[in-house]
Chain A
Amino acid sequence: QQQVKQSPQSLIVQKGGISIINCAYENTAFDYFPWYQQFPGKGPALLIAIRPDVSEKKEGRFTISFNKSAKQFSLHIMDSQPGDSATYFCAVAGNAGNMLTFGGGTRLMVKP
């Protein structure tokens, strides 16, 4: 059973555009929703995270939007840059042990 579904699998955006990646989850007990960024040859690294008590969190060009009733959250990358080209993973946590369960990943390419 897939606990978190991520879409799209791949995304191509022009430089300066907005990149949007979506995740949907089932378990209402989850209480931590991070996004990880992975560059080729590297491990994933925490990019930004949100708790369900707020609907939006912004850090620079990166924003998480959270819809608790729809059980969905999304990553928005404003003014996308070629250096943002990477694979992005959403994750959820809140079950016993505070362990993360990851989505399937989105490969983002930002064209110059």
Chain B
Amino acid sequence: DADVTQTPRNRITKTGKRIMLECSQTKGHDRMYWYRQDPGLGLRLIYYSFDVKDINKGEISDGYSVSRQAQAKFSLSLESAIPNQTALYFCATSAHNYGYTFGSGTRLTVV
């Protein structure tokens, strides 16, 4: 099994729909992150959590929300999806050093 598992791998949704992307990890790391990848823009941080009771906004949090259900689970929600949220979404984990472990990503298309 993968260390960081993201579900679903691919999703097509309609504008205005609510959608949740899920992430679970077996690394035992406290820190979890959600990134968005767009061509030429690299990986941009949406939200991050340093432990179960800690949630922080990243640079592009508008239109997104998160929930840290347990140390191993961190979900990302789009409350009302819009087409410019079409992107590749990655969950990552880390310990207190800098080493990040990424999931395989969720490709989201909003039509």
Asked if A98 meets B40 with Cβ closer than 8 Å, knowing A43-B104, A43-B105, the reply is: no
Binary flags per residue of A92-106, CB closer than 8 Å to B gives 1, else 0: 010001111111110
Q: Are B40 and A105 in contact (CB under 8 A)?
A: yes
Tell me the count of chain B residues lying within 8 A, CB to CB, of chain A.
25
Tell me the A residues contacting B by CB distance below 8 Å.
6, 9, 32, 34, 36, 41-46, 49, 89, 93, 97-105
Q: Which residues of A contact B41 (CB under 8 A)?
A: 104
Asked if A102 meets B99 with Cβ closer than 8 Å, knowing A41-B104, A43-B92, A44-B90, the reply is: no
Query: Which of B4, B42, B48 lies in contact with A99, CB distance below 8 A?
Result: B48
A-B contacts counted at CB < 8 A amount to: 51
Tell me the B residues contacting A by CB distance below 8 Å.
4, 33, 35, 37, 39-45, 48, 50, 90, 92, 94, 96-100, 102-105
Q: Are A100 and B42 in contact (CB under 8 A)?
A: no
A54–B37 CA distance with the chains assembled, in angstroms: 31
A9–B37 CA distance with the chains assembled, in angstroms: 14
Q: Which residues of B contact A93 (CB under 8 A)?
A: 98
29 A-B contact pairs sorted by A residue (CB < 8 Å): A6-B42, A9-B40, A32-B98, A41-B105, A42-B105, A43-B90, A43-B92, A43-B103, A43-B104, A43-B105, A44-B43, A44-B100, A46-B99, A46-B100, A89-B43, A93-B98, A97-B50, A98-B94, A98-B97, A98-B98, A99-B33, A99-B45, A102-B35, A102-B44, A103-B42, A104-B41, A105-B39, A105-B40, A105-B42
A49–B100 CA distance with the chains assembled, in angstroms: 12
A89–B103 CA distance with the chains assembled, in angstroms: 16
